[in-house]
């Protein structure tokens, strides 16, 4: 049994809908995963670039950065057995996600088309990414707390 941590972020547009957050949390916990920490965060350009470091400089990055910094996101630290692989499977692919995955189902439930660039959720793809993304998430939570 290998317990690991992952980072899941519900992106702007979708994070504005409380039922979307509830639905994704339900799916994660129904799969036996535990949500260890969660909250609303706002990515600035610096944190977006750190989060998506491997994509900076690619032609799709500028619209991604614009989207991710356009409003509040909802982040979660999620743990469980093989959490990273399990969550990635639940989330589905960025392009043409399969029916039954979060990226396919949530837009359909909202009556929206599935958009590759403005998809529902991000999930860590490796242990290294999860560590980096969790660190960024915690920094952003502190920034949010300081605003209050």
**Domains parsed from the chain with CATH numbers:** 3-147 (3.30.70.141)
Predicted local distance difference test score (pLDDT) of residue 1: 57
DSSP SS3 for 23: helix
Task: Judge residue 20's burial from the number of C-beta atoms within 10 Å of its C-beta, 0-12 exposed, 13-18 middle, 19 or more buried.
Answer: buried
pTM of the model: 0.93
Q: Is the pLDDT of residue 32 over 90?
A: yes
Per-residue pLDDT at 114: 65
User: Token pair 């605003």 is at which residue?
Assistant: 147
83's CB contacts (< 8 A; 6+ apart) are: 3, 4, 5, 6, 33
Find the mean pLDDT for residues 14-32.
Answer: 97
The pLDDT of residue 17 is 94
Phi, psi of 52 (to 5 degrees): -105, 35
Catalytic residue (one of 47, 51, 55, 122): 122
Query: What's the CA dihedral at 5, 11, 15, 16 to 10 degrees?
Result: 170
Predicted local confidence at residue 116, as pLDDT: 63
Identify whether 47 is a catalytic site residue: no
């Amino acid at each position: 049994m290998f317990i690991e941590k992952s980072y899941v972020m519900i992106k702007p547009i979708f994070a504005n809908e409380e039922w979307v957050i509830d639905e994704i949390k339900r799916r994660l916990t129904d799969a036996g995963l535990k949500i260890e920490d969660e909250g609303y965060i706002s990515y600035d350009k610096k944190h977006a670039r750190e989060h998506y470091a491997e994509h900076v400089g690619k032609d799709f990055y500028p619209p991604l950065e614009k989207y991710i910094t356009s409003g509040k996101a909802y982040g979660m630290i999620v743990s469980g057995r093989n959490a990273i692989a399990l969550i990635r499977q639940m989330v589905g692919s960025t392009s043409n996600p399969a029916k039954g995955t979060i990226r396919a189902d949530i837009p359909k439930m909202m009556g929206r088309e599935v958009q590759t660039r403005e998809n529902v959720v991000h999930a860590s793809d490796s242990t290294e990414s999860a560590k980096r993304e969790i660190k960024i998430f915690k920094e952003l939570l502190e920034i949010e707390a300081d605003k209050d």
